Structure 1
Amino acid sequence: MNAQRHLDRASSMNEKIILKRLLSSSSVKSNVFQEEKLLVHRLHSTASETSDEEEIVSWNLTSSNENREYGEIPLKAYWTYFSECGLFWLSIYIVSTVSWQVLRIMTDFWLTKWSEDKHANEQVFYYLFVYALFSFGSICLSMVSNCTGQTAGARARYQLHNSMLENLLKCPMKFYETTPLGQIINRFSNDLSIIDKKIATSIQRLIQFFLMCVSAFIVNSIVTPWFLVFAAPICVVYYVIQKFYTCSLRELQRLDSIARAPILSHYSETDTGLETIRAFKQQETFTNVFFHKLDCHTNVFYIINAGNRWLGIALDYLGAVVVFIAILVSLVSSTVFPHLVTPPLIGLAINYTLLLPIYLNWIVKFLSDIEMYMGAVERISDCSKLPIEDYNSEAEVPKNWPLRADIRLEKASVQYDSSQQPVFTNLNLTIPHGQKIGICGQTGSGKSSLAMCLFRMAPLQEGQVFIGDRNISTIPLRRLRSCLSAIPQDVIMFSGTIRDNLDLRKEFTDEEIWHCLELAQLKKTVSEYAGELYGQVKEGGENFSAGERQLFCLARGILHNTTCLVMDEATSSLDADTEKTLINAARSAFEKKTVIIVAHRLQSLLDCERIIVLESGKIVEDGSPCQLLAKPGGVLASMLRATQSTK
């Protein structure tokens, strides 16, 4: 218990560094910030009554292993987003938006001219017609601008989503073993939500307000040129405030993304292990852990909103100064130059001036928001560039490969990470075609890694693996994996029909599928199911038992006529009768093909033609079950005796 407390206390200390010193002037100029240990207090409503509970719920927020970026968002993130929008739609949007704003200015000047004309009453129809023409043009251009802007945004989010999804589906297994689930969920939920709902609209509004602001400056410059003397330093102040705020908000948004991932991971893991949590009565512990992680995220969220309020107050005060100066300059100009600055022009200038602070405020806000949102584009772009497996190999492979599933490993070595010990080294193994072979050993002996080598899912550091006398490193991954079947411990079935789960590409007839179901001993089960082949499968196949899901996986392999079947701990969660049914079905369906069974239960391997015993990545025994069991002091015999003695 004391050791556990020390571990929990150490993890709690790690959590204290999640927040950075962000709202200081020095943070604006520095791209790398000094970390500061800022204690994150639990909310009073979720505080535990005892110190023991506080130690238990102190889980490390930084366990997400998400690399945090510092400094400004790189220009390549903007380039990525705008390139995905499409040049055609962007061009139409920019032209229509600029034309729309020009027409708005012309409309206002036309009204000014109308009010100055002493003979306007005699030409009402003329002025009204031109005004209506300008207004109609503005409305049409406004519709074109909004439609093309949203179309460009929709194209960008579609391309970014598909690019990330396609890349993640091709990532090696190491990525999924080292990347927390919450981080991946965060990309598809929060980051994509920002791109879907906020970026396109924010960019549209920014461009509109920028053009309005430029229009206001142009109008004021025409009416009262002296306004530019005061406008220049005011714009500099706006720029300084914007940069200061953006720098802080950018880092806070990155922290928000990092702090959100552990919440999603914890929720997903808790949902998966709900039965175990309830069995050990740990509901309160996991609830406290969730609230603790939520508190950390809430701290960041609170500071983001506080920063927004600070920006609003600062810009409101500065906007009041702009309005005062603009009105003062207009009034002085009309007094000094009454013939040049007419009352209608003063009214037009004041009208634009009153809106100028609003435009500037929104420009600053949208500039900051867009830079903050571009962090989502940066993260998604990074996911789209992760190293992937070589799916698109152009190596030529005979159409009938492999005719025989002769498997040969020559001095094969597997090491998942350079900081870890190799799983096995210099392993030599030959499995003739059609042999039924069992692989056993203690946990960590390399059983599953050996099976994964055949699918190129385990990184082969040295040596070679041959199937059908061909080095599998020269075989395109899609082709290689389509020639092998696997029955894992946890079989996943997808939502849809039974037929879809067996033949998604509609390559086989119903008769062929029924024949495979019969070989897999599922024909009776499916024929009694509502809808038969077209019966609905719930998410994860929860309307079928674990054994039935394993048999469906076997039926899929039979249907696709693969030459080798790999059963990786497939029977570990099954009862004895279901295990016997599965193994018998596999042997009869793959009678003349290679079957590799990886198992902890030694009883399920005794009917194999050959058994290999692994220990620390090395083959310590190899032979038929009778030979190995008769061997004095044999490893298999001792393992079997130990298993029987525990029953």
Structure 2
Amino acid sequence: SDADIFILDSPLSAVDAIVQNEIFTKCFLGLLRHKTVILVTHSPEIIASKCIDQLIQLKGGHLIQTSVDNQMALTDALVTPLRVRVGFADDSHDNHDDYRSEPSQEWDRSILLTPSVASPYPAPFLHGMPFTPFDEAGAATYDDQSGRLVLDEGRSQGRVSTKVFASYLQAVGGWKKVLFWVAVLAIWQGLTISGDVWLSRWSATVKDGTASTSADYLHDAGYYLSIYAVFALGSVAMTMVRTLSIFSSGVAASRRLFENMTNALLRAPMRFFDTNPIGRILNRYSNDINTVDSSIPFSVSASMAVAFMALFSFGTTIWVLQWRGVALLPLIYVYFVLGGYYVEPAREMERVNKTTKSPLLNLISESIEGALVIRAFGPKQVRRFQRQHFRNVDTNNEASFAAQVISQWFAMRIQLLSAILLLCISTALIFMRYYVSPGLIGLVLNYSFTVLPSFQRLVANWGQLETAMVGPERLAEYANIEPEAPRVISGAVAKDWPTTGEVEFAHMSFRYKENDPMVLKDVSVHIQSGEKVGIVGRTGAGKSSLTMALFRINELAGGSIKIDGVDISHVGVKTLRSSIAIIPQAPVLFKGTLRNYLDPFGEFADADLWGCLHKVRLADRISAVDGKLDSPVEENGENFSVGERQMLCMARALLRQARIVVMDEATAAIDHETDQNLQRVIRTEFATSTVLTIAHRLDTVLDADRILVFDQGRLAQCDTPAALIGASAGIFYELCHEGGYLDKMVVPPQH
């Protein structure tokens, strides 16, 4: 975006001191040096930097202090101030190209970064190279699929598997239900045919004039009419039984398939959700479930009804035509051959139609979620997303149009074949006029006009049924997802496990997907019970991946993790995860009440809930809201700030008093004063618990018992903070140096 004003809402809270320094220097003081930048931050290092022109302090929604030329700076600057800042004003009148304008003086890179973390590129800062060069990309091309996160959606080819039909048959009630339908349909057609034959016999008696008087005629008419009414009413009753039974079974099958897919998704490993966007999953829950709900029961009912109608009507026609009906069999064979030509492309186009709808739904959901960001980049980006949406709509419409063309192709040819078949039957009846009664000839002609469209509808309905079975096929794909490890393993651990909170990593390696590179490599460390451990490292070093491995979000690629001497691979994932408390970097609050969020199982008294809220200093905020503990929590906690959501996560962890507590950059989005208060709460409330704190703000871990320093997935350093700083070298020393934390540590003299 080439905007003149940039509003940045705490973008540096999740990066380490070195990356923060790089972004602040190269981006804010470099690329955006001619722009107005409004930066929201809690970082004391940035607030204290002399590179800030004006500071605005807010509290409780009110402006409490404004400082020009950063009179509020309390410590040394985050980075050395730009010596050429005044020079920018001189050349700004002559050169407005922000990406090509150069400082009036050359930069000394040594004042920006220490030699060990400086960029390997020798070019002067921002001189002809405003963006990261692609030298490290090597031979990678746009066709390189390695490391790709979201994979293309696959689709089946060929006939729908018999396993899909079998699973749907089981869902509707099994063979007993199918045999019941067959019996009902046979009775229905038997009553229908019997009524037609009875009507033919009635018409023959009228022609022969067997009734001698009007009274006899009325008596015979009443007799024949009553019998015909019995056949008709019985046929109607069987039709109602068939329709209600098939559609009720279809709804029950849809519910079972829905539950199977939902249960499978709830137990799916996290890598499945990493590689499948939300639009693809929503397509299964909307389009495919709708197919199973409505299209399949209708197709099953229509196919079975038309099949029995065609079978009984054709059988009656053959019975009347006798040996002459053999000539119709080749034409019937042609019907089914033609139907086979139709079903295959129609089925494939239905698969293509469903597959092309997933990107359409995915883009819509992502655009709604990111509408604020899209609009912030101006009309050009809005039009880009519109064009992408139009392309997705066109792609989906192409599949729908092709399906309509295939359907019309089949209809035209099947109608031509029906006309030929009708001609053959009519010709045969002409030659049989002396051997068959007029009533039977009329009955056969009536069935001829019925059976021919029935064959056409039978092939069409079977094609629609097999096409609709793509829906259960796609639902079965998700229902058969390989689940993660068992949730509960009986007898694996005691109910009060873990009792000490001792954690041991032994040669542990971890990756997010199979064939992906390792993000943690051969990590070995023993964490004692009650130990407070800080986990630090540069962005992307593998710190948060350690928590993913600890919670078994993905399985280990090698090595083991033991808690209280028990290998966690032998413990159910539900048991494991419920035994460890975590305050995540991005808190998630579900819609409901505050009480349901803090205590979803109703295990604690109100006094306990208020006590935890007091400890995280949210009691006054909650008591001022209507409903208090029963006050609503909006979706994703939108009625709370990011910092308040983080503190609610802390309150929930305090409530459970877990033996192992993981804090994944939990204080990144809160101010320094609240951070200090929470650190005090952690030291007092979790005094006997093992606490693993992942931090970019190093002041939160400077009082830890030990520091684990990760670098490129490996455990590079492990010692007390004082010992690591006292070495005057190493990654932790550099991080402290870049963040200005060295003066906060009292390092014992080296002997």
Q: Same fold (TM over 0.5)?
A: yes
Q: Which residue does 2:105 correspond to in 1?
A: none
1:145–1:589 distance in 2 versus 1, CA, 3 Å: farther
1:98–1:611 distance in 2 versus 1, CA, 3 Å: same
Q: Which residue does 1:382 correspond to in 2?
A: 477
Task: Output the CA distance in 2 between the equivalents of 1:424 and 1:612.
Answer: 13
1:582–1:114 distance in 2 versus 1, CA, 3 Å: farther
For residues 356-394 of structure 1, the C-alpha deviation after alignment (integer angstroms, 9 at most, x for no partner) is 222122111111111112122122112111111122533
* Contact preservation (8 Å) 1:395, 1:474: no
SS at match of 2:557: strand
Task: Output the CA distance in 1 between the equivalents of 2:701 and 2:639.
Answer: 30
Task: Output the CA distance in 1 between the equivalents of 2:737 and 2:354.
Answer: 53
> Aligned ranges for residues 85-124 of structure 1 at < 5 Å?
85-87=172-174, 88-117=176-205, 118-119=210-211, 121-124=218-221
- Of 193-202 and 267-276, more deviation after overlay is shown by 267-276
* Contact preservation (8 Å) 2:537, 2:731: no
Letter in 2 for 1:307: I
Q: Which residue does 2:451 correspond to in 1?
A: 356
1:467–1:63 distance in 2 versus 1, CA, 3 Å: closer
Q: What's the Cα RMSD here?
A: 2.6
For residues 133-165 of structure 1, the C-alpha deviation after alignment (integer angstroms, 9 at most, x for no partner) is 222222222222111111211121111111111
Deviation at 1:527, TM superposition (A): 2.3
Letter in 1 for 2:359: P
Q: How many residues in Structure 1 have an aligned counterpart in Structure 2?
A: 588
Deviation at 1:194, TM superposition (A): 0.9
Letter in 1 for 2:567: N
Q: Which residue does 1:404 correspond to in 2?
A: 500
Task: Output the CA distance in 2 between the equivalents of 1:104 and 1:421.
Answer: 69
For residues 160-212 of structure 1, the C-alpha deviation after alignment (integer angstroms, 9 at most, x for no partner) is 11111111111111222222333222221211111112111111110001111
Task: Output the CA distance in 1 between the equivalents of 2:296 and 2:690.
Answer: 54
For residues 221-255 of structure 1, the C-alpha deviation after alignment (integer angstroms, 9 at most, x for no partner) is 22223553232122122112211111111221222
Deviation at 1:585, TM superposition (A): 4.4
Identity of aligned residues (%): 31
Q: Which residue does 1:46 correspond to in 2?
A: none
**Residue segments in structure 1 that go unaligned for 5+ positions in a row:** 5-9, 15-61
Task: Output the CA distance in 2 between the equivalents of 1:95 and 1:251.
Answer: 33
> Aligned ranges for residues 451-490 of structure 1 at < 5 Å?
451-490=547-586
Alignment partner of 2:265 out of 168, 171, 180? 168
SS at match of 1:357: helix
Alignment partner of 1:143 out of 219, 240, 256? 240
Q: Which residue does 1:538 correspond to in 2?
A: 634
Task: Output the CA distance in 1 between the equivalents of 2:657 and 2:192.
Answer: 69
Task: Output the CA distance in 2 between the equivalents of 1:417 and 1:107.
Answer: 67
Letter in 1 for 2:594: I
Letter in 1 for 2:444: A
Task: Output the CA distance in 1 between the equivalents of 2:305 and 2:328.
Answer: 20
Q: Which residue does 2:545 correspond to in 1?
A: 449
Q: Which residue does 1:223 correspond to in 2?
A: 320
Letter in 2 for 1:593: S
Deviation at 1:622, TM superposition (A): 2.1
Letter in 1 for 2:285: F
Q: Which residue does 1:434 correspond to in 2?
A: 530
Q: Which residue does 1:194 correspond to in 2?
A: 291
Alignment partner of 1:74 out of 146, 149, 161? 161
1:247 and 2:344 aligned: yes
Q: Which residue does 2:387 correspond to in 1?
A: 288
- Of 142-151 and 635-644, more deviation after overlay is shown by 635-644
Task: Output the CA distance in 1 between the equivalents of 2:482 and 2:542.
Answer: 25
Task: Output the CA distance in 2 between the equivalents of 1:314 and 1:127.
Answer: 42
1:309 and 2:309 aligned: no
SS at match of 1:380: helix
Letter in 2 for 1:343: P
1:261 and 2:358 aligned: yes
Task: Output the CA distance in 1 between the equivalents of 2:675 and 2:324.
Answer: 87
SS at match of 2:469: helix
Q: Which residue does 2:427 correspond to in 1?
A: 328
Deviation at 1:74, TM superposition (A): 1.2
1:401–1:90 distance in 2 versus 1, CA, 3 Å: same
Q: Which residue does 2:656 correspond to in 1?
A: 560
Deviation at 1:102, TM superposition (A): 1.6
- Of 520-529 and 240-249, more deviation after overlay is shown by 520-529
* Contact preservation (8 Å) 1:226, 1:329: no
Task: Output the CA distance in 1 between the equivalents of 2:514 and 2:183.
Answer: 55
For residues 61-95 of structure 1, the C-alpha deviation after alignment (integer angstroms, 9 at most, x for no partner) is x9752223221111111001001111354343332
Task: Output the CA distance in 2 between the equivalents of 1:580 and 1:362.
Answer: 75
Task: Output the CA distance in 1 between the equivalents of 2:361 and 2:668.
Answer: 29
1:167–1:136 distance in 2 versus 1, CA, 3 Å: same
SS at match of 2:158: coil
1:582–1:542 distance in 2 versus 1, CA, 3 Å: farther
SS at match of 1:619: strand
* Contact preservation (8 Å) 1:209, 1:362: yes
Deviation at 1:524, TM superposition (A): 2.5
1:302–1:500 distance in 2 versus 1, CA, 3 Å: same
* Contact preservation (8 Å) 2:706, 2:720: yes
SS at match of 1:565: strand
1:599–1:286 distance in 2 versus 1, CA, 3 Å: farther
Q: Which residue does 2:717 correspond to in 1?
A: 621
- Of 598-607 and 191-200, more deviation after overlay is shown by 598-607
1:387–1:583 distance in 2 versus 1, CA, 3 Å: farther
Task: Output the CA distance in 1 between the equivalents of 2:695 and 2:177.
Answer: 58
For residues 320-360 of structure 1, the C-alpha deviation after alignment (integer angstroms, 9 at most, x for no partner) is 222232233223322x41xxx11121222111211222212
> Aligned ranges for residues 487-566 of structure 1 at < 5 Å?
487-566=583-662
1:244–1:578 distance in 2 versus 1, CA, 3 Å: farther
* Contact preservation (8 Å) 1:245, 1:307: yes
* Contact preservation (8 Å) 2:349, 2:403: yes
Task: Output the CA distance in 2 between the equivalents of 1:457 and 1:518.
Answer: 32
Task: Output the CA distance in 2 between the equivalents of 1:89 and 1:577.
Answer: 69
* Contact preservation (8 Å) 2:191, 2:234: yes
Q: Which residue does 2:31 correspond to in 1?
A: none
Whose radius of gyration is greater, 1 or 2?
2
Deviation at 1:518, TM superposition (A): 3.2
Deviation at 1:418, TM superposition (A): 4.5
1:207–1:556 distance in 2 versus 1, CA, 3 Å: same
Letter in 1 for 2:286: S
* Contact preservation (8 Å) 1:550, 1:582: no
Q: Which residue does 1:639 correspond to in 2?
A: 735
Deviation at 1:592, TM superposition (A): 2.4
Deviation at 1:579, TM superposition (A): 4.4
SS at match of 1:224: helix
* Contact preservation (8 Å) 1:449, 1:458: no
TM-score of the aligned structures, taking structure 1 as reference length: 0.85
Task: Output the CA distance in 2 between the equivalents of 1:583 and 1:144.
Answer: 70
* Contact preservation (8 Å) 2:593, 2:629: yes
- Of 144-153 and 560-569, more deviation after overlay is shown by 560-569
SS at match of 2:322: coil
More helix by share: 1
1:594–1:332 distance in 2 versus 1, CA, 3 Å: same
Q: Which residue does 2:222 correspond to in 1?
A: 125
Task: Output the CA distance in 2 between the equivalents of 1:228 and 1:442.
Answer: 85
1:484–1:106 distance in 2 versus 1, CA, 3 Å: same
- Of 442-451 and 553-562, more deviation after overlay is shown by 553-562
- Of 571-580 and 86-95, more deviation after overlay is shown by 571-580
